[in-house]
């Protein structure tokens, strides 16, 4: 998690009119971003390690994340069906995060500059980009950066002084 849950900046509305958010809107904005960070971090680690999130996030949030699913099993059309009833959008996000955790679906943040998307990486530990497009974009960026650095290094390299022998320039 990055940042604090104490609001220390003037947050403005997201509709473009740059009006300051009201105190309840600011609290909601801070709480939503805090929950978003918590759920993102949870998805990047094993379900069995979620308790450790209490080090970085409010304990009551982590307890809520670890609360068992509100699951009921019903017989529909002769087959048992699991049903989860949620009371809020936050409940839905928590339940989907729990289901991903129980299934062992871990995710990772794309390393491409400016992306930051979460993506499941499955059994392939070496995957660091969410899509081929992100990997390609980053490879192009890295190549251009190396080229700029090489040009800059060549410009800053001291030039050899010409040595004269017998009044003539050395070859």
Q: Residues 75-105: pLDDT tens digits?
A: 878 788 888 888 888 888 888 888 888 888 7
In a domain, 39, yes or no: no
Domain-located, residue 131: yes
Residue 64, domain member (yes or no): no
Please report which confidence band the pLDDT of residue 59 belongs to, taking 50, 70 and 90 as the band edges.
Answer: very high
pLDDT of residue 1: 35
Is 121 part of a structural domain of the chain?
yes
Average pLDDT of the chain to the nearest whole number: 78
Task: Please tell me which of 25-29, 30-34, 134-138, 164-168 the model is most confident about, judged by mean pLDDT.
Answer: 134-138
For 73, 115, 124, the CA distances from 99, given in Å and listed in that order, are 15, 25, 21
Q: Within a domain: residue 22?
A: no
Residue 165 lies in a domain: no
Q: Is the pLDDT of residue 15 over 60?
A: no
- What's the total number of domains in the chain? 1
Mean pLDDT of 21-28: 59
Range of the domain at 150: 106-156
Q: What is 22-78 written as a DSSP string?
A: PHHHHHHHHHHHHHHHHHHHHHTS-GGGGGGGGGTS-HHHHHHHHSPP-EEEEEETT
- The reply to whether 146 falls in a domain is yes
Residue 124 domain-assigned (yes or no): yes
């Amino acid at each position: 998690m990055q940042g604090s849950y104490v609001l220390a900046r003037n947050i403005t509305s997201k509709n473009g009119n740059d009006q300051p958010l009201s105190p309840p809107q600011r609290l909601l904005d801070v709480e939503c971003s805090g929950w978003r960070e918590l759920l993102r971090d949870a998805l990047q680690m094993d379900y069995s390690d979620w308790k450790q999130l209490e080090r970085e996030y409010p304990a009551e949030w982590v307890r809520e994340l670890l609360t068992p699913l509100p699951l009921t099993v019903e017989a529909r059309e002769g087959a048992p069906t699991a049903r989860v009833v949620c009371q809020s959008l936050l409940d839905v996000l928590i339940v989907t995060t729990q289901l991903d955790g129980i299934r062992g679906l871990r995710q990772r943040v794309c390393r491409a500059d400016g992306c930051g998307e979460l993506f499941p990486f499955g059994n392939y530990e070496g995957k660091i980009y969410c899509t081929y497009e992100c990997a390609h974009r980053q490879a192009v960026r890295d190549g251009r950066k190396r080229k700029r650095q090489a040009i800059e290094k060549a410009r800053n390299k001291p030039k050899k002084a010409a040595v004269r022998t017998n009044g003539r320039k050395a070859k």
